[in-house]
Copies of this chain bind each other. A is one copy, B any other.
Amino acid sequence: MGAPPGYRPSAWVHLLHQLPRADFQLRPVPSAFAPQEREYQQALLLVAALAGLGLGLSLIFIAVYLIRFCCCRPPEPPGAKSPPPGGGCVTWNCIAALLVGCAGIGVGFYGNSETSDGVSQLSSALLHANHTLTAIDHLVLEMVERLNEAVRTELTTLEEVLTQRTELVAAARGARRQAETVAQQLQGLAFWRGVPLSPLQVAEDVSFVEEYRWLAYVLLLLLELLVCLFTLLGLARQSKWLVIVMTVMSLLVLVLSWGSMGLEAATAVGLSDFCSSPDSYILNLTQEETGLGSDILNYYFLCNQAVSNPFQQRLTLSQRALANIHSQLQGLEREAVPQFPSAQKPVLSLEETLNVTEGNFHQLVALLHCRGLHKDYGSALRGLCEDTLEGLLFLLLFSLLSAGALATVLCSLPRAWALFPPSDDYEDTDDDDPFNPQESKRFVQWQSSI
């Protein structure tokens, strides 16, 4: 009945969280999220380094494959000028790899947008929490000022008017004491006043970083898309210079893909550790940053029936004091106003103030209740641990697909390139038809061989 069902770690979080971690000496590291500890940092760096290892291995593989292809070709029988068998297979391979790369790019765009959605959910939750916290501050300030104003003006006027009747003066003084009690209790409720941590600032920082991350990925994806399309074009038109440029670009994008894969893997692993039990880490961090009591933080971060409202007593005392002011004002209205008509105006004005304060008090109770802020916390966690993590996994899939596709393309392109006709023949080809570019070349070859 307290808080609605909140954040639950997803299956991906559990899966990633259960992967073993090790530091640089390959000693196992516990998978609890502890970004300030050297071992944990080393474990994440090691995850990122795995991508570097992958890059190195794939570069070695490509180099070995191409060297073997260049140096260990079986000697061509003299007079056989037709391309070696398997040339079509190489081109098909290359095209299939480029199609896989394009599918990967689609996955990457989706993952990038999903990650961005998650982060924007996080920052909008932070903005909402900031709104609640500043609203509490403003409301308390407004209520306290209104009460102090009432004490200074109407209650003072009332005491002056009723100065002849000591018991009525006592009632007015009682109301003044109660109003002062309320103001004092309320001031204790503005718990976020003077706290150095601003959710607004955090949200702005997060959005700023995310904007550049998003842009960097979009540029990488577009670069890879261009490389895929121009490679296809180069193959179709058998343009040697285009294929050479695209081979170099593919190498560049291969390095970028493995680099982004390292970053994504390390981030996803770290995020899964954070997301498997975020409460304790966030509680400690917020306590350090804000210096707030653990009762308040527990109340907002856990928000279940086991944690009592830390403002309960202050709220109850304020509420009772407000009720007492009301009964004293009613007494004064009954007793004093018939005798002292000039008391009517301040009493009515005080009742008006009391009504407004009671309305504001209900709003304050609603703002202070853990429900709203806990919902923001749950929404921020869901954004980070569901959407963002899912997006990161899609980006990881994109990087994997594009690394595989580009490695295949890099192996195939030089072989396909070797099958192209020499450039002087090429000038003659009818390169309009993508499925029929080699006709003229072979025709010439055939002519010379008869």
Which of A's residues lie within 8 Å of B, judged by CB?
1-2, 4-5, 87-89, 91-92, 95, 102, 106, 109-110, 113, 117, 127-128, 131-132, 135, 138-139, 235-236, 238, 308-309, 312, 315-316, 319-320, 322-324, 326-327, 355, 358-359, 362-363, 365-369, 371-372, 375, 430-439, 442-443, 446
A107 to chain B, nearest CB (A): 10
Q: Are A434 and B309 in contact (CB under 8 A)?
A: no
**Contact A312 B362, CB 8 Å, known A323-B320, A434-B92, A434-B435:** yes
A449 to chain B, nearest CB (A): 12
When distances are taken between beta carbons in the complex, the residues of chain B under 8 Å from A372 are 366, 371-372, 375
Q: Are A89 and B432 in contact (CB under 8 A)?
A: yes
When distances are taken between beta carbons in the complex, the residues of chain B under 8 Å from A95 are 434
When distances are taken between beta carbons in the complex, the residues of chain B under 8 Å from A434 are 88, 91-92, 95, 435
**Complex Cα gap A127–B363 (Å):** 24
Contact of A362 among B109, B128, B365 (CB under 8 A): B365
10 residue pairs from A and B, CB less than 8 Å apart? A1-B135, A4-B128, A88-B436, A92-B432, A110-B110, A128-B375, A320-B323, A365-B365, A371-B372, A436-B442
When distances are taken between beta carbons in the complex, the residues of chain B under 8 Å from A102 are 102
When distances are taken between beta carbons in the complex, the residues of chain B under 8 Å from A128 are 4, 375
A133 to chain B, nearest CB (A): 11
When distances are taken between beta carbons in the complex, the residues of chain B under 8 Å from A438 are 433, 435-436, 439
Secondary structure class of chain A's binding surface, majority of residues: helix
Q: Are A87 and B4 in contact (CB under 8 A)?
A: no
**Contact A323 B319, CB 8 Å, known A434-B88, A436-B438:** yes
- The quantity of this chain's copies bound in the complex is 2
* Residue of B whose beta carbon sits closest to that of A129: B4
A269 to chain B, nearest CB (A): 25
**Contact A433 B91, CB 8 Å, known A110-B109, A366-B371:** yes
When distances are taken between beta carbons in the complex, the residues of chain B under 8 Å from A4 are 127-128, 131-132
**Contact A436 B437, CB 8 Å, known A110-B113, A323-B319, A366-B366:** yes
Task: Beyond the given A365-B366, A371-B372, please list 18 additional residue pairs across the A-B interface where CB-CB is below 8 A.
Answer: A2-B363, A4-B131, A92-B433, A92-B434, A102-B102, A109-B110, A312-B358, A312-B359, A316-B355, A319-B319, A362-B369, A363-B369, A366-B368, A366-B371, A367-B371, A435-B435, A436-B439, A443-B446
* Residue of B whose beta carbon sits closest to that of A85: B432
**Complex Cα gap A306–B139 (Å):** 16
**Complex Cα gap A362–B110 (Å):** 44
Which 6 pairs across A and B sit closest by C-beta, in order of nearness?
A88-B433, A323-B323, A88-B432, A366-B369, A366-B366, A365-B365
* Most chain B CB within a 10 A radius of its CB, from A102, A109, A372, A436: A436
When distances are taken between beta carbons in the complex, the residues of chain B under 8 Å from A235 are 435
A161 to chain B, nearest CB (A): 26
When distances are taken between beta carbons in the complex, the residues of chain B under 8 Å from A132 are 4
Q: Are A87 and B320 in contact (CB under 8 A)?
A: no
A434 to chain B, nearest CB (A): 6
* Residue of B whose beta carbon sits closest to that of A311: B362
A435 to chain B, nearest CB (A): 5
* Most chain B CB within a 10 A radius of its CB, from A88, A131, A322, A324: A88
A120 to chain B, nearest CB (A): 11
Contact of A139 among B1, B113, B315, B367 (CB under 8 A): B1
* Residue of B whose beta carbon sits closest to that of A136: B1
**Complex Cα gap A443–B442 (Å):** 9
**Contact A326 B315, CB 8 Å, known A308-B359, A372-B372, A439-B438:** no
A181 to chain B, nearest CB (A): 13
Q: Are A315 and B439 in contact (CB under 8 A)?
A: no
When distances are taken between beta carbons in the complex, the residues of chain B under 8 Å from A368 are 366
**Complex Cα gap A368–B131 (Å):** 19
